[in-house]
Structure 1
Amino acid sequence: MNDLPFGFSSASGDDDSSRKPDRGSGDGSSGSGAGGSDPFGLGGQNPFGGGGGFDPNALGQMLSQLGSMISGMGSGAGSGGGGGPVNYDVATNLARQQIGNFAVLDPKQIAAVTDAVHLAELWLDGVTTLPAGVSRSTAWTPVQWLEETLPTWKRLCDPVAAQIAGTWATGLPEEAQQFAGPMMGMLSQMGGMAFGTQLGQGLGQLGKEVLSSTDIGLPLAPEGTAVLLPEAIAAFADGLEQPAQEIIVFLAAREAAHVRLFTHVPWLRQRLLATVEEYARGITMDFSGIQEAAANLDPTELLSNPSKIEELMASGTSFEPTTTPEQKAALARLETMLALIEGWVEHVVAKALSDRIPSAGALAETMRRRRATGGPAEQTFATLVGLELRPRKLREAADLWEKLLASSDVSTRDGVWAHPDLMPDSDDVDNPSAFIDRVIGGDVSSFDDPIAELEKTMAAEAAEKKASLEKDPPADDTDGDGPADPDEDADKA
């Protein structure tokens, strides 16, 4: 699994040869060479001869794209999604090519999803104090998933890409900065294309595999919307030997449980996104690799010998972001939070369906194996922020919620979500007994409304102070020059 964060990929790239190209493309090459060795989205074509000789058509494509970028530099270049740290026009187009043909939804599929979500909501009502959060349920095609979730992906990707791009500008050797100064605008756009290419690859593959809008653990759909993707569910169900209706209801229950959590725990969505941003702010890069590559390089040689550009780009795998202790802590918190979300969903869905759907246990185990073998969620986060959501944490988080319920009640279990300071940390997930003792060992009323408890404490302290002043008021200041002084009063006498 690729553990480099967003904007970086290994030179070997992904094995895209097995991916089905978009039948609507003209030459069939689109979407096939967007791996790590093709940072500018040129479809893997090497105009300088990498092994197939000089290709004037590929060179023309590259020069056309560079010319387009240069011509727009003075006016901000890049209308639409091309002007920021990630070129979302490139990402969207590449993702659409990756998705290729897809089945068109019919009204029966949408109705089936709506009915399944409605039934799941009724069953979830009996196992959690969080009220229903779904205001709309529907089905999406892969392209609809791409279009509807892109705003959230922008929030996730922009901080990481912007920090990497900024580090590029300030971290290059002084000689390289002087040489690249006039071209920094173009280089910024090329970086945006590189990030867009990588993101488009990931979203295109993800759009064909995700089963619901919350399949990766984040709320990607609009608030209150529950979504299932019938085409991916059909592929997921193939070979499971479980009734199709039970599979749909099971996945609908997981989606509805996620939506309840993100709807009625208002701090949760922002906390997840803020943790990604916190990670991004700490990104630094080790430029020793590129410094070594450029040590004996004559800048004029880049113009006379274009193959040197390719050689320098190939050395890109030798400079990677360094991980600071603060970043490691942010990743640990993100991993723990995602595990707690997934564990709670698994736990409440099991409680809701175990007596109603015979295949619930088998389907839950299938989802665990899907996580363990590196499903879309793990691949996405490993590429995005270098995070791998470990299955061990998921299983232990579900066990924590189960033990907390066994030791208390549903209200206490769900009350933990009332405030981020009440949530278990990584050590608590590893050792739930200590956390449970803290929750049930004293007054747990603070779990209902921690803000109200704080206000109550402050009011009590203020009342106690007021009573103390009334009982023992300060001496009168008779001469107007400050508090009464016993020695001064004695002198006056």
Structure 2
Amino acid sequence: MGAMSASGGPFGFDPRMFEQVPLFRELAKVMSWQGGPVNWDLAGQTATALGTEGDAASTGVGHAFGDAVATAEHWLDAVTSLAAVDGPAEALTPSQWIAEAVTSQGLGAYIEPMAAGAADALGEQLPDELRQLGAGAGGDDAMRQAMSSLGAMLYGMQAGVIGGHLAQQLWSCYDLGVPTIDARRVGPVGTALDHFAGDYDLDVAEVRHWLALSEAVHRRMFAGVSWLSDEVASLVREFAAAADFDPQSLMDSLGGGLDPSDPQALQQALESSDAFAIEPTTAQRRVLDRLQALVSFTEAYADTVVRSAATERLPSLARIEEAR
């Protein structure tokens, strides 16, 4: 167990000294996080703050998108041997998407392996300055506990920023080419579909059916072909394992050090876009090439299948593809 300071905070951190810093008003709760390498509570709060402006769903809300997917499944049966997969099909507001995506089960599949690697590296190879800082407050164990919480907080903030921006930019659950939430769930996110149809003077029902085809074929791949989702997960883990987590470099990216007595400086360091930045290694680039090739293959397959299913059914298909 790590030592507690006289003020009651772990490793000499007094939560009261952060009360006037908005980002750290709940530092006591954040620094006690024990739910894994990413603080998903903080991530969800951050994403919600950034990504729920104009929180509305597409006009596909209700039965419209579900009906479009049901029709799309029949069309797909005629052009692909991939079996249909049951699952929810409905339009999501940005906040609904955030609630499912900014979690360990959602975007965590892509973020947590890297976060865990960084946490392990910091715990095993504490820089000298941190060992000295922790010498009078419980030693290495207390410092590892503090750094684990700090790392989870940082990755939680970064995951929240990513999730918040995606919530405002995504068209749909599979817009990234891989699942962002439960692989069985499909649907538009926000109102991008409606704006797209309006901006290009397209029939929103045709655009909805086109998106339903795309979402449904992605679901057939990622929820119905077990080796595909397993391979993506394996490549993500391999990418994380190939990283060079140099603890001193990680500390340098936080401005060269941490001073818990200066919360303003700590806040500025954590808010920096370079915080905990890690330069990809040669091995990571090779893994990334393989991952990108796999996703490109699935995207090309999906485009081909959608085009085959829609050519005779959606008169505006060429215009939709060109505008998209």
TM-score (norm 2): 0.78
Q: 1:208 aligns with which of 136, 158, 168?
A: 168
1:169 partner SS:
helix
Instruction: Tell me which amino acid in the other structure corresponds to 1:364.
Output: E
Corresponding position of 1:168: 122
Q: CA deviation at 1:315?
A: 9.0
Match of 2:52 in 1: 100
Alpha-carbon contact 2:60-2:91 (below 8 Å) kept:
no
Of residues 309, 314, 323 in structure 2, which corresponds to 1:352?
A: 309
Query: Counterparts of 1:114 and 1:197 in 2: how far apart (Å)?
Result: 34
Quickly say closer, same or farther: Cα 1:220–1:316, change in 2 above 3 A: closer
- Tell me whether 1:225 sits opposite 2:209 in the alignment: no
Selected match of 2:92 from 140, 147, 150: 140
Aligned length: 299
Q: Which moved more, 1:341-350 or 1:185-194?
A: 185-194
Cα distance change of structure 1 residues 307 and 130 upon mapping to structure 2, 3 Å threshold: closer
**Aligned 8 A contact 1:290 1:316 in 2:** no
Output the CA distance in 2 between the equivalents of 1:112 and 1:316.
Answer: 41
1:116 aligns with 2:65: no
Shift of 1:246: 0.9
Contact 2:174 2:180 in 1 (8 A): yes
Contact 1:102 1:141 in 2 (8 A): no
Q: 1:201 offset after TM fit, Å?
A: 1.3
**Matches of 2:90 and 2:263, distance apart in 1:** 52
Unaligned runs of 5+ in 2: 1-16, 135-139
Choose between structure 1 and 2 for higher RCO, CA contacts under 8 A separated by at least 6 residues: 2
Aligned partner of 2:14 in structure 1 is none
In structure 2, relative to structure 1, the CA distance for the partners of 1:103 and 1:60 (3 Å cut) is closer
Per the alignment, in what secondary structure is the counterpart of residue 200 of structure 2?
A: coil
- Separation in 1 of the partners of 2:182 and 2:250? 43
Distance 1:291 1:197, change over 3 A: closer
Instruction: Write out aligned runs for 1:22-421 (5 A).
Output: 58-59=20-21, 62=24, 64-68=25-29, 77-78=32-33, 83-102=35-54, 109-149=61-101, 150=103, 151-180=105-134, 181=140, 182-229=142-189, 231-286=191-246, 287=248, 302=259, 317=274, 320-367=277-324
Displacement, 1:141? Answer: 1.7
Q: Could you say if the C-alpha distance between residues 58 and 253 of structure 1 is closer, same or farther in structure 2, counting changes exceeding 3 Å?
A: same
Distance 1:154 1:294 in 2: 27
Q: Is the 8 A contact 1:120 1:253 kept in 2?
A: yes
Q: TM-score, normalised by structure 1?
A: 0.53
The answer to whether the Cα contact below 8 Å between 1:69 and 1:186 also exists between their aligned partners in 2 is: no
Aligned CA distance change for structure 1 residues 202 and 235 (closer, same or farther; 3 Å): farther
> Structure 1 residues 119 and 328 mapped into 2: Cα distance closer, same or farther (>3 Å)?
same
How far, CA to CA, are the matches of 2:244 and 2:306 in structure 1?
41
Kindly report which structure 2 residues correspond to 1:446-465, keeping only aligned pairs within 5 A, or say none.
Answer: none
Higher helix proportion (structure 1 or 2): 1
Residues 97 and 167, structure 2, Cα contact 8 Å, conserved in 1: yes
Q: Would you say the 8 A contact 1:289–1:315 is kept in 2?
A: no
Q: Is residue 86–residue 193 contact of structure 1 (8 Å, CA) maintained in 2?
A: yes
Return the alpha-carbon distance in structure 1 between the equivalents of residues 253 and 82 of structure 2.
57
Q: 1:306 offset after TM fit, Å?
A: 6.9
The change in CA–CA distance for 1:86 and 1:234 in structure 2 (over 3 A counts) is same
Identical amino acids, percent of aligned pairs: 28
**1:347-393 C-alpha deviation (Å, 9 max, x unpaired):** 111111122212212222333xxxxxxxxxxxxxxxxxxxxxxxxxx
3-state DSSP of counterpart to 1:248: helix
Kindly state the Cα deviation for residue 83 of structure 1 after the two structures are TM-superposed. 3.1
Q: Which structure: larger Rg?
A: 1
Query: Matches of 2:278 and 2:162 in 1, distance apart?
Result: 20
- Superposed CA offset, 1:17-37 (max 9, x none): xxxxxxxxxxxxxxxxxxxxx
Once the 2 structures are TM-superposed, how far is the Cα of residue 274 of structure 1 from its aligned partner?
1.5
Where in structure 1 are there 5+ consecutive unaligned residues? 1-46, 48-55, 71-76, 368-493
Q: Is the 8 A contact 1:146 1:203 kept in 2?
A: yes
CA separation in 2, counterparts of 1:103 and 1:313?
A: 28
Counterpart Cα distance in 2 of 1:91 and 1:69: 11
Q: CA deviation at 1:119?
A: 1.8
